[in-house]
Amino acid sequence: MVFFSRFFNSIYIPVPDTTQQFEEVLKSRLFSSISNQIGMIGYVAEDLRKISQGFESQSDTIGHIDEDIEYLSSDGLENPESADGGSESFTGTINTYYDEAFYNDDGIMGLLLGDTEFRNIGYWDDQTTNQNSAAENLQDALLEMIPQKAGRILDAACGMGASTKRLMNYYAPENIWAINISEKQIKSTQKNAPGCNAKVMSAVEMGFEDDFFDAIECIEAAFHFETRKKFLEESMRILKPGGTLVLSDVLMTSKHRLEQHAVFPDPKNHIQTAEEYEELLRDTGFKNVVVKDVSREVWGAHFLFVVNRIHEEFYHGRLNIVQLTEILWTYYYLDAITGVCLFASAQK
């Protein structure tokens, strides 16, 4: 599920000997969690301005916020989590991050994804009631953008293979290829989609012949690529003339967001608007480009689903106050950094 699982820590809390010690453990955990989330939000100057609007200067600290913002706006923002070790280091970071998150059934990930091997935010209409259905809706909406479902198709960044398996409703297994940089996830894909061609491969350096595929799908992964431009150029190369690329993607609210987390490439992968996305597709050589803003049906609906779901779990005693607080703060932070969610289709 994109990058969301990274922010959830273990839900285990050691039981102290005394009531006072127990209280201190809870305070420490909550304060640390909230402080981390506020610190992440405060890293981007635009967010500080928005958050501070309307505040009255009641202390020296608040009174000096403009000075702090000016400092944070400099181009030399430090990134304690940057992946400066090159592509190999970046790939390793991505694999460690998602392999751990995707196969961990504890905490909020197990709560939300226990009944599905899809790992995307999903597309939520008025009839959608669970994460698995939302994930299926999203993939089906993308496949509807492929005029003719025939020939060979590539599932780029296939995750654990749930999307690859669903392609078998439309394509013969021998005509389905799936790639991912994680060997562990490719093994899951081979199990979930038997007969398909699943390989460990980077989406920005694909070892396929020119004009090989009739269609390519990519679900919620391009914001991790080094870079989207390279992926689109590779897609253009391996698609047959008239072939179709369909994808879903998530844009961040600021290029500085990409400096905050080691699972994102550097800011050159940042795209701010759906219009810029369309322009990039056209500049790469694609025609019949369609880009749709589906933010409300994707992240917006998913966000509300999660908030309601965790409150239900808390009400029924399956989450405690510490777990509830950690999850809420995490999702509030994610809402602060998530920009436009979009669907795109284009032809070679």
Q: Is the pLDDT of residue 347 over 90?
A: yes
Confidence tier at 62 by pLDDT (50, 70, 90): very low
Report the candidate in 171, 178, 151 with the shortest Cα–Cα distance to residue 241.
151
**Secondary structure class of 336 (helix, strand, coil):** helix
Q: What is the CA radius of gyration of the chain?
A: 21
In tens, the pLDDT along 65-106 reads 333 333 233 333 333 333 334 566 878 887 777 777 777 776
- For residues 79 and 82, what is the distance between their CA atoms, to the nearest angstrom? 5
Highest mean pLDDT: which range of 9-13, 180-184, 265-269:
180-184
Q: Quote the tokens at residue 108.
A: 């909020």
Average pLDDT in the 170-175 region?
A: 97
Q: Is the pLDDT of residue 346 over 60?
A: yes
Task: State the pLDDT at residue 311.
Answer: 93
Residue spans of the domains in the chain: they are 1-11+86-348
- For residues 30 and 38, what is the distance between their CA atoms, to the nearest angstrom? 12
Q: Which residue has the higher pLDDT, 226 or 81?
A: 226
Tell me if 246 sits within 8 A of 140, measured CB to CB: no
Mean of the per-residue pLDDT values for the chain? 82
Q: Classify burial at 209, counting beta carbons within 10 Å of its beta carbon; exposed 0-12, middle 13-18, buried 19 or more.
A: exposed
Sheet holding 239-252, edge to edge: 197-200, 176-180, 153-156, 213-219, 239-252, 338-347, 287-293
Task: State the pLDDT at residue 315.
Answer: 94
Ranking 28-42, 110-124, 250-264, 276-290 by mean pLDDT, the lowest is 28-42
Average pLDDT in the 144-172 region?
A: 96
- For residues 55 and 199, what is the distance between their CA atoms, to the nearest angstrom? 54
Tell me if 218 sits within 8 A of 156, measured CB to CB: yes
Ranking 22-36, 161-175, 281-295 by mean pLDDT, the lowest is 22-36
Q: Quote the tokens at residue 138.
A: 């999203």
86 Cβ partners below 8 Å, 6+ apart? none
Q: Is the pLDDT of residue 56 over 70?
A: no
Q: Quote the tokens at residue 79.
A: 């990134």
Taking every pair of C-alpha atoms in the chain, what is the biggest distance, in angstroms? 71
In tens, the pLDDT along 313-342 reads 899 988 877 778 878 888 888 898 899 999
Q: Is the backbone peptide bond immediately before 93 cis, with ω within 30 degrees of 0?
A: no
Q: Quote the tokens at residue 98.
A: 């998602």
Tell me if 302 sits within 8 A of 248, measured CB to CB: no
Q: Whose structure tokens read 């969690």?
A: 33
Q: Is the pLDDT of residue 43 over 80?
A: no
In tens, the pLDDT along 98-152 reads 777 777 776 666 777 777 888 889 999 999 999 999 999 999 999 999 999 999 9
CATH architecture of 1-11+86-348: 3-Layer(aba) Sandwich (3.40)
Q: Is the pLDDT of residue 64 over 50?
A: no
Q: Is the pLDDT of residue 191 over 80?
A: yes
- For residues 249 and 163, what is the distance between their CA atoms, to the nearest angstrom? 15
Q: Is the sign of the CA dihedral 85, 90, 95, 97 positive or negative?
A: positive
